[in-house]
Amino acid sequence: MSISIAVESVVFVYPDGTRALDGVDLRVDPGERLAIVGQNGSGKSTLVRQLNGLLRPTEGRVLVGGEDAARFHVAQLAARVGLAFQNPDRQIFAGRVRAEVAFGPRNLGLRGAELERAVDGALDAVGLAEMADHNPYDLGYSRRKLLAIASVLAMGTPVVILDEPTTGQDARGVARVRAIIDRLSDERRTVIAISHDMRFVAETSRRVVVMQAGRIVLDGPPATVFAEPNWPALASTYLEPTLPALVGTQLGLGCTPTDEALVAALLARGGRQARRLARAGPGQAPGRPRAGPGQAPAGR
């Protein structure tokens, strides 16, 4: 079920001469949970379009499951790599929500109850089960975005790519996207999410790839990518570390990219202080400072 993806020295030039990828190397192991971030126009969408054959490299090559993607037709790649477009309106074409979601799995050969199960499961996952008979264009933008995700989920591909899945989503929509990523990850499927939301990225990814001007400039776990030495590189592509990463660094706790990591580091520090105080014995409790040399006891 799980397959690897590799991008080797890929350059991509659009017909108008725009060099959108300028030598990208990236290896994604089966089951990884990866985020791609970077300023507008840094090449994120162009990179993921190479992975499902929507675009083919100008130079270099893409390997899907260890095989050169150039040997696969788009339909063959679609069975391996699912991509939910950044702009759902470029993806959606059917007149009914259910038909839209059924299109991909039907192309993969699913029929009857198996097809129904794939469609219902995907609609449930994005919370659109009630809207199966609606026209996609009667849904708001955020729901069309979820519909585009459902169409990809229904295909059951080992690699799922979500291009800016949280754009336009309220807290409930973001929670849905997180739950979808968790589930895919539990199923050992590879998830690649592009996002401008650093909090979402830190909380949902185990690896963050930072792009700038068609190149990868940082690649590592959130605690490394959002750590102080990388702040200048982040700033170069108009990104900021998450708030808990800034606070943890200010407090000398190291890089704590999520609220959870920050709280854990604060509790650990609190525990260390409490143990130190306990070892030092009575009189050391917080709020009862002992007068040391050069320190006048209170009240004098």
Ligand X SMILES: Nc1ncnc2c1ncn2[C@@H]1O[C@H](COP(=O)(O)OP(=O)(O)OP(=O)(O)O)[C@@H](O)[C@H]1O
Distance (Å, whole) CA 137 – CA 115: 23
Nearer to ligand X, 166 or 256 (CB): 166
Q: Could you tell me which residues are beta bridge partners of residue 256?
A: none
38 binds, options Mg ion, ligand X, none, Cβ within 5 to 8 A by partner type: ligand X
The most distant pair of C-alpha atoms in the chain lies apart, rounded to whole Å, by: 88
At closest approach, how far in Å is the CB of 98 from ligand X? Answer: 29
Q: Are the C-beta atoms of 187 and 157 separated by less than 8 Å?
A: no
Nearer to ligand X, 120 or 219 (CB): 219
At closest approach, how far in Å is the CB of 298 from ligand X? Answer: 58
Q: Looking only at residues 85 through 104 of this chain, which bind ligand X when binding is defined by CB under 6 A? A: 86
At closest approach, how far in Å is the CB of 74 from ligand X? Answer: 17
Reduce the DSSP state of residue 265 to 3 states and report it: helix
Sign of CA dihedral 171, 177, 182, 183: positive
The candidate with the shortest Cα–Cα distance to 75, out of 35, 119, 100, 106, is 106
At closest approach, how far in Å is the CB of 45 from Mg ion? Answer: 3
At closest approach, how far in Å is the CB of 270 from ligand X? Answer: 40
Which phi and psi angles does 268 have, rounded to 5°?
-65, -40
Nearer to ligand X, 44 or 176 (CB): 44
C-beta neighbour count of 115 within 10 angstroms? 17
The candidate with the shortest Cα–Cα distance to 101, out of 79, 85, 116, is 116
45 in contact with Mg ion (CB under 5 A): yes
Q: Are the C-beta atoms of 51 and 161 separated by less than 8 Å?
A: yes
Q: Looking only at residues 45 through 84 of this chain, which bind ligand X when binding is defined by CB under 6 A? A: 45-46
Among 5, 6, 35, 43, the residue binding ligand X under the rule CB under 6 A is: 43
Among 18, 107, 135, 273, the residue binding ligand X under the rule CB under 6 A is: 18
151 in contact with ligand X (CB under 6 A): no
Among 10, 24, 32, 44, the residue binding ligand X under the rule CB under 6 A is: 44
How many positions of this chain bind Mg ion (CB under 5 A)?
3
Q: Which amino acid is at 232?
A: P
How many positions of this chain bind ligand X (CB under 6 A)?
13
Q: Are the C-beta atoms of 267 and 251 separated by less than 8 Å?
A: no
Nearer to ligand X, 43 or 156 (CB): 43
Q: Which residues bind Mg ion (CB under 5 A)?
A: 44-45, 86
